[in-house]
A and B are shown apart, each in its own frame.
Chain A
Amino acid sequence: MIVAERKPLGEIAEMVAPYQKVTVIGCRSCVAICLAGGEKEVKMLVSAMKLKNRREGRKQDFDGFVLERQCEKEWVKEVEDKILSSDVVLSMSCSLGAQTIADMYPEKIVVPGLNTAMFGVPEEQGVWSEKCLGCGDCIIHTTGGICPIARCAKSMLNGPCGGSSNGHCEVNLDIECAWYAIHERLKLQGRLDLIEMVRPPKEWTTSHSGGRRVIVREDAKLTPHQKRDKEAVI
Chain B
Amino acid sequence: MAERNPKVVGFCCEEHGIECANLAVRSGKQYDVSVRLVRVPCTGRVDGIHILKALEDGADAVFVLGCLEKNCYYDTGSIEGRKRVDYVKSMLSQVGIEPERVEMFNASSSMAWKFSEIVSKMTDVAKRLGPIEPRGDGQ
Contact = CB atoms under 8 A, between A and B. Distances in A.
B48 A51 contact: no
Given A9-B94, A55-B95, A56-B96, A48 B52 contact: yes
Interface string B124-139: 0000000011110000
A47 B132 contact: no
B56 A55 contact: no
Nearest to B94: A9
A54 interface: yes
Given A51-B52, A55-B133, A57-B133, A44 B91 contact: yes
Interface string A13-41: 10000000000000000000000000010
A210 interface: no
B100 interface: no
B54 to A, nearest CB: 10
B79 to A, nearest CB: 13
A10 interface: yes
Contacts of B91: 9, 44, 48
Interface string B90-116: 011011110000000000000000000
Contacts of B13: none
Interface size class of A (residues with CB under 8 A): 10 to 19
Contact of B56 (A10, A50, A56): A50
Given A40-B47, A43-B49, A48 B134 contact: no
B135 to A, nearest CB: 7
A54 B133 contact: yes
B42 interface: no
Contacts of A10: 94-95
B53 interface: yes
A43 B53 CA distance: 9
A49 interface: yes
B55 interface: yes
Q: Which of A9, A43, A50, A55 has the most CB of B within 10 A?
A: A55
Contact of B95 (A40, A52, A57): A52
Nearest to A13: B95
B94 A51 contact: no
A51 B101 CA distance: 13
Contacts of B132: 51, 54-55
Interface string B58-99: 000000000000000000000000000000000110111100
A50 B56 CA distance: 7
A47 B132 CA distance: 13
A54 B133 CA distance: 6
A8 interface: yes
Q: Which of B49, B55, B92, B132 has the most CB of A within 10 A?
A: B49
A47 B96 contact: no
Interface of B: 47-49, 52-53, 55-56, 91-92, 94-97, 132-135
16 contacts: A9-B91, A47-B56, A48-B94, A49-B95, A50-B56, A51-B52, A51-B95, A52-B95, A52-B96, A52-B97, A54-B132, A55-B95, A55-B96, A55-B97, A55-B133, A55-B134
